[in-house]
């Protein structure tokens, strides 16, 4: 069911938690500790995305197990960024194993990941898909539930919807059409990070002036805090602020953020 993480704070190397930490995303690909609802390993691809100096995201995705990519360490080591998102994929049976099906999904402003599964796919999402412009659907990254969720969220964001409310509302819209779905959503921007815990594990750590959310803690730091099911984590810093400015962190509920939209 995938593992993902995202960071917002002073510039660091994504390699620290993606590759080097004791329970890095690399380790979580073959030895996850808290998989729920199916799946035992996360070997159907991976991706890393980060916001570069020009303010736009750079993305690297492959359809292979993360440990097979000898170029990844060399790629990530020199990177220093104040916002990044990474994921390893456990594909749902019947969905393709392709690079384009791997998170992060992206546009000029956002990186997105979905850890979970939409039950009854694709029939259960017919109503949601009908709300998305046809041109957007024609640009769907892959015929998967996660890719459709990204297109639905991206449509709301481009209409000027508040990102926190948009993520919360998407969870409820999907749950309405596909009850029992697993919907840990993760959205990262230059100055904002939004993460939901919806049937899958999620933890958050605030340390060193930065905020890290992850499906599983990446190390034994006691600062890690488990996020309760149905909760939503928001980390943000003032738009355009220096990357060294420490972001604020709030933990609310998905329902509350949706109702305040």
DSSP-assigned letters across all residues of 7-49: EEEEEE-THIIIIISTT-HHHHHHS-S---SS-S---S-EEEE
Report yes or no: 211 and 249 within 8 Å, Cβ to Cβ: yes
Determine the Cα angle at 124 with ends 100 and 179, to 5°: 110
Report yes or no: 233 and 247 within 8 Å, Cβ to Cβ: no
Distance, in Å, from the CA atom of 23 to the CA atom of 173, rounded to the nearest integer, reads 33
CATH classification of the domain holding 14:
3.60.20.10
Task: Find the domain containing 22 and state its range.
Answer: 3-259
Name the burial class of residue 74, with classes exposed (0-12), middle (13-18) and buried (19+) by CB atoms within 10 angstroms of its CB: exposed
Report yes or no: 148 and 127 within 8 Å, Cβ to Cβ: no
First to last CA, the chain: 29
pTM of full prediction above 0.75? yes
Omega of the bond prior to 122 within 30 degrees of 0, cis?
yes
Report yes or no: 105 and 2 within 8 Å, Cβ to Cβ: no
- Domain total in the chain: 1
pLDDT reported for residue 138: 96
pLDDT digits (tens, 9 = 90+) for 146-181: 999 999 999 999 999 999 999 999 999 999 999 999
pLDDT reported for residue 1: 65
Helix (H) or strand (E) holding 186: strand 182-188
Distance, in Å, from the CA atom of 210 to the CA atom of 19, rounded to the nearest integer, reads 18
Closest of 232, 199, 230, 226 to residue 214, by C-alpha: 226
Residue 261 in this model has a pLDDT that exceeds 70: no
pLDDT digits (tens, 9 = 90+) for 174-225: 999 999 999 999 999 999 999 999 999 999 999 899 999 999 999 999 999 9
Mean pLDDT of 9-30: 98
Residue 239 in this model has a pLDDT that exceeds 70: yes
Sign, CA dihedral 236-213-115-175, equals negative
Cα separations in angstroms, 12 against 15, 19, 79, 160: 9, 13, 8, 30
Closest of 251, 248, 250 to residue 9, by C-alpha: 248
Residue 68 in this model has a pLDDT that exceeds 70: yes
What percentage of the chain reaches a pLDDT higher than 70? Answer: 99
Sequence-distant (≥ 6) Cβ neighbours of residue 141 within 8 angstroms: 100, 101, 105, 147, 150
Closest of 11, 30, 4 to residue 105, by C-alpha: 4
For residue 218, indicate whether it is catalytic.
no
Could you say which of 2, 5, 12, 117 is catalytic? 2
Torsion from C-alpha of 70, 31, 196, 137, nearest 10 degrees = 50
Mean pLDDT of the chain: 95
Q: Tell me phi and psi for residue 102, to 5 degrees.
A: -90, 140
pLDDT digits (tens, 9 = 90+) for 84-137: 999 999 999 889 999 999 999 999 999 999 999 999 999 999 999 999 999 999
């Amino acid at each position: 069911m995938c593992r993902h993480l995202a960071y917002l704070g002073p510039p660091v190397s994504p390699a620290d938690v993606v590759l080097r930490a004791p329970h890095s995303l690399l380790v979580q690909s073959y030895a996850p500790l808290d998989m729920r609802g199916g799946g035992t390993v996360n070997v159907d691809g991976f991706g890393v995305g980060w916001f570069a100096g020009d303010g736009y995201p750079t993305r690297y995705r492959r359809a292979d197990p993360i440990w097979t990519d000898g170029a990844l360490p060399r790629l990530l080591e020199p990177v220093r960024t104040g916002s990044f998102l990474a994921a390893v994929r456990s594909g749902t049976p019947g969905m393709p194993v392709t690079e384009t099906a791997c998170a992060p999904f992206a546009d000029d402003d956002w990186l997105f990941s979905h850890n979970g599964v939409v039950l009854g796919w694709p029939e259960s999402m017919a109503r949601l898909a009908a709300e998305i412009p046809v041109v957007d659907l024609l640009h769907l990254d892959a015929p998967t539930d996660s890719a459709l969720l990204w297109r639905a969220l991206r449509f709301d964001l481009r209409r000027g919807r508040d990102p926190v409310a948009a993520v919360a509302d998407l969870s409820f819209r999907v749950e309405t059409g596909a009850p029992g779905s697993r919907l840990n959503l993760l959205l990262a921007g230059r100055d904002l990070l939004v993460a939901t815990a919806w049937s899958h594990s999620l933890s958050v750590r605030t340390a060193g002036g930065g905020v890290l959310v992850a499906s599983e803690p990446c190390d034994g730091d006691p600062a890690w805090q488990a996020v309760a099911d149905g909760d939503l984590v928001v980390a943000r810093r003032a738009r355009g602020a220096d990357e060294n400015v420490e972001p604020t962190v709030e933990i609310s509920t998905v329902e509350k953020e949706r109702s305040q939209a």
